[in-house]
């Protein structure tokens, strides 16, 4: 599932990048660019003062498009065009995954469904000696069951032990999980950058949180964590073709899961049967290896903590770009949490 490492492809920046960042490509011919990609140069390094985005591009049939160039993208912050300073395809960064498992009483009939979903996902995505994940459950309150590890056996054992009961504190759980993703274990050698992902397996209903939905979404944005939600709701209607079931309606918990995914640049899945989960896992894993790294220096340097909207577009017809909707600039860096 590995992908080529990120190649820097951008015009010369107005100020030089840090010493550990790759040199920008200048006056490069298409043939030279192809040769450079074949050599797989090191990934783009994190730089303070830049806003970092991970973007997914799909066509009308939801196929991932991975062949676009920097010139195919336009970035806007609060409606103002921004200059892309660094660009790369097919990010292959180490993953730091928070797996958030709903164990409240409301999902008791579907707990085995959630456990199978969690284990299948981890086995599909975690790469030995590179990626790490932690397991957090939530009912009345969130609890870390297994801390960061790359050991799939430990994670599987922890997942299988869970039992259902209690209320549902989803917002509190996402708030706590994204705090943990803000300070993950970093690679011991090489590029210190990691990709933060939160996978939420739940029905989306919340009846016990102290945190509001808006607070949980803000926490995810500040942590730069993309949320991939797998709904356990069973509100389905199969019409005419039993092999092509359709949602009866999307409301309540499903809409909450959609908000988390859309605001953070992730995605929500509505599997019909446990057997349908396999394709969802394949899609998440493929998406994490089929994205674009985009970094820009905001034209507005004021770090006042006020939310700024981000819009990334492409001129290519019939394509959709998905990334996080915005960020909160702070005095340290316009985009990155303290751990970067």
pLDDT digits (tens, 9 = 90+) for 60-105: 998 999 999 999 999 999 999 999 999 988 667 899 999 999 999 8
Q: Report pLDDT for 132.
A: 97
Give buried/exposed letters for 282-291 (b at 16+ CB in 10 A, else e).
ebbbbbbbbb
Cα separation, 261 vs 217, in Å, equals 9
Which pair of tokens denotes residue 181?
Answer: 């993703």
Least confident piece of the model among 29-43, 83-97, 117-131:
29-43
Over range 11-28, report the average pLDDT: 39
Q: Which structural domains are found in the chain, ordered by start?
A: 95-288 (3.40.50.410)
Spatial CB neighbours of 34, under 8 Å, sequence gap ≥ 6: none
**Are the CB atoms for 8 and 88 separated by under 8 Å?**
yes
Question: With contact defined as beta carbons under 8 Å apart, do 293 and 86 qualify?
Answer: yes
Cα 71 to Cα 21, 100, 303: the distances in Å are: 21, 37, 28
- pLDDT at position 280: 77
Inform me whether the pLDDT recorded for 297 exceeds 80: yes
Q: Inform me whether the pLDDT recorded for 28 exceeds 80.
A: no
More confident residue, 117 or 38: 117
pLDDT in tens, 180-230: 999 999 998 877 888 999 999 898 999 999 999 999 999 999 999 999 998
Q: How many CA atoms lie within 13 A of 107 on its CB side?
A: 30
- The answer on pLDDT for 34 being more than 70 is no
- Who has greater pLDDT, 49 or 163? 163
Q: Return the pLDDT at 272.
A: 75
| CB-based burial label for 43 (10 Å; 0-12, 13-18, 19+) | buried
Q: Residue 124 in contact with residue 152, Cβ under 8 Å?
A: no
What is the rounded average pLDDT of the residues 254-276?
Answer: 88
pLDDT value for 245: 60
pLDDT of amino acid 78: 97
Residue 3 in contact with residue 288, Cβ under 8 Å? no
- Give start and end residues of each alpha helix (H) in 126-194: 152-160, 170-181
User: Model-level pTM?
Assistant: 0.79
Look over the chain and give the mean of its residue pLDDT values, rounded to a whole number.
81
Q: What is the pLDDT of residue 39?
A: 37
pLDDT of residue 340: 36
How far, in Å, CA of 142 to CA of 75, rounded? Answer: 36
| pLDDT value at 27 more than 80 | no
CB crowding 223-239: b at 16 or more within 10 Å, else e: bbbbbbbbbbbeeeeee
Output the DSSP codes for 66-111: ----GGGEEEEETTEEE-EEEEEES--PPEEEEEEEE-SGGGGGGH
Band of residue 274 on the pLDDT scale cut at 50, 70, 90 = low
Q: How far apart are CA 145 and CA 141, in angstroms?
A: 12
pLDDT at position 308, please?
Answer: 96
β-pairing verdict for 84-89 and 80-82: unpaired
Has residue 36 got a pLDDT over 80?
no
Q: Judge whether residue 128 has pLDDT over 60.
A: yes
d(CA 340, CA 46): 7
Nearest to 194 by CA among 309, 73, 54, 50: 54
Confidence of residue 236 (pLDDT cuts 50, 70, 90): low
Residue 34 has φ and ψ, to the nearest 5°, of -65, -45
CA distance 139 to 208: 9
pLDDT at 35: 34
- Looking at residues 232-255, what average pLDDT do you find? 67
């Amino acid at each position: 599932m590995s992908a080529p490492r990120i190649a820097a492809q951008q015009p010369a920046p107005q100020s030089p990048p840090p010493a550990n960042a790759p040199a920008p490509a200048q006056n490069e011919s298409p043939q030279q660019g192809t040769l450079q990609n074949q050599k797989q140069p090191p990934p783009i390094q994190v730089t303070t003062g830049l806003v970092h985005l991970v973007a997914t591009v799909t066509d009308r049939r939801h196929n991932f498009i991975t062949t676009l160039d920097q010139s195919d993208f336009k970035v806007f912050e609060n409606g103002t065009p921004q200059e892309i300073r660094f660009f790369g395809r097919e990010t292959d960064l180490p993953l730091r995954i928070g797996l958030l498992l709903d164990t409240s009483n409301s999902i008791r009939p579907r707990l085995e469904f959630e456990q199978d979903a969690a284990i299948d996902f981890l086995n599909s995505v975690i790469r030995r000696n590179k990626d790490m994940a932690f397991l957090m459950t939530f009912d009345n309150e969130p609890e870390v069951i297994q801390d960061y590890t790359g050991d799939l056996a430990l994670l599987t054992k922890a997942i299988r032990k869970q039992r259902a009961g209690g209320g549902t504190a989803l917002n509190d759980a996402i708030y706590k999980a994204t705090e943990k993703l803000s300070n993950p274990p970093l690679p011991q050698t090489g590029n210190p950058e990691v990709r933060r992902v939160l996978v939420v397996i739940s029905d989306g209903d919340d009846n016990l949180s102290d945190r509001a939905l808006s607070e949980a979404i803000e926490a995810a944005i500040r942590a730069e964590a993309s949320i991939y939600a797998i709904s356990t709701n069973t509100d389905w209607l199969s019409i005419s073709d039993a092999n092509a079931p359709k949602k009866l309606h999307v409301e309540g918990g499903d809409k909450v899961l959609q908000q988390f995914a859309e605001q953070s640049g992730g995605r929500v899945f509505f599997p019909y049967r446990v057997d349908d989960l396999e394709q969802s896992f394949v899609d998440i894993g493929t998406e994490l290896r089929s994205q674009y790294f985009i970094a820009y220096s905001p034209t507005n340097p004021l770090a006042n903590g006020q939310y700024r909207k981000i819009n990334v577009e492409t001129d290519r017809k019939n394509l959709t770009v998905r990334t996080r909707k915005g960020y909160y600039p702070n005095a340290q860096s316009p985009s990155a949490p303290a751990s970067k």
